[in-house]
Structure formats: structure tokens, C-alpha cells
Amino acid sequence: MMKSMMMNTTMKNTMVKKSKPQRKCVGCNEMKDKSQLIRIAKISDDEFVFDKTGKQNGRGAYICKSKECLEKAFRNKGFERSFKCKISTEIYNGLEQEIQAYEA
Ligand SMILES: [Zn+2]
């Protein structure tokens, strides 16, 4: 009885250590390791930036480092849902230009 409880605790600890923080991509809606995603932060209603440090203030959304997912997020309104505001084509175009630098 005692032994099995201890084993469970050990297993739990190992699992916690192993699991990396995961976030959902607003484009493909898949859960991925945070390191595979990039955070987009909303600074103001018409200003969005790629948050390389993850420390930028403001509402944020995570997306894969791919133009494809950015396009999906824009088309499926994942962006607008996450940020609770309209995303203009201008903003989208700006982000599209920038995400190319992060694409693997
Ligand atoms: Zn994605």
C-alpha cells in the first residue's frame, strides 16, 4: 500500500518534469511546445508585435512559426477571437512580413 503510493508520486513528479509548457496555435488550433510557437502581443488596437521574449505586456496569442498558420488564424478569425478586436489587412500584412524571419 505505502509502496504503491510512493511509486505513484515518483511517476507524477517525472511526468511534471518531462512535460514542456504547451500552448495552442491560433491558426491550426494544435497544442504545441511553447518553444515551437511565437507569441503575438497586442500593444494597442492597431499595433501587434511578435513577442520574442515572451515578456511583452498585453493580450497575447500563440502561433506556429509559419506563414500558413498566420493565414489560417486570419481567415478563421482565430486572431480576432483571441484579441477580441478586428484585425485589419494592414496589420495582417505586417505580421506576414515579419513571420518570415522566424520560419524554419
Ligand atoms: Zn499552427
Domain boundaries defined on the chain: 21-103
> How does pLDDT run across 50-99, given as a tens digit for each residue?
998 888 999 999 999 999 999 999 999 999 999 999 999 999 999 999 99
Per-residue pLDDT band at 2 (split at 50, 70, 90):
low
Per-residue pLDDT band at 41 (split at 50, 70, 90):
very high
Q: Which residues contact 36 (CB under 8 A, 6 or more apart)?
A: 64, 65
pTM score, whole prediction: 0.78
With beta carbons less than 8 A apart as the criterion, state whether 71 and 23 touch.
Answer: no
Question: What's the CA-to-centroid distance between 102 and ligand 1, angstroms?
Answer: 13
**Gyration radius of the chain over CA positions:** 18
pLDDT at position 53: 87
pLDDT at position 16: 60
Tell me the fold of 21-103: Hypothetical Cytosolic Protein; Chain: A; (3.30.1230)
Question: What's the CA-to-centroid distance between 15 and ligand 1, angstroms?
Answer: 25
What gap in Å lies between CA 104 and CA 101, rounded to an integer?
A: 8
User: Which DSSP state fits 36?
Assistant: G
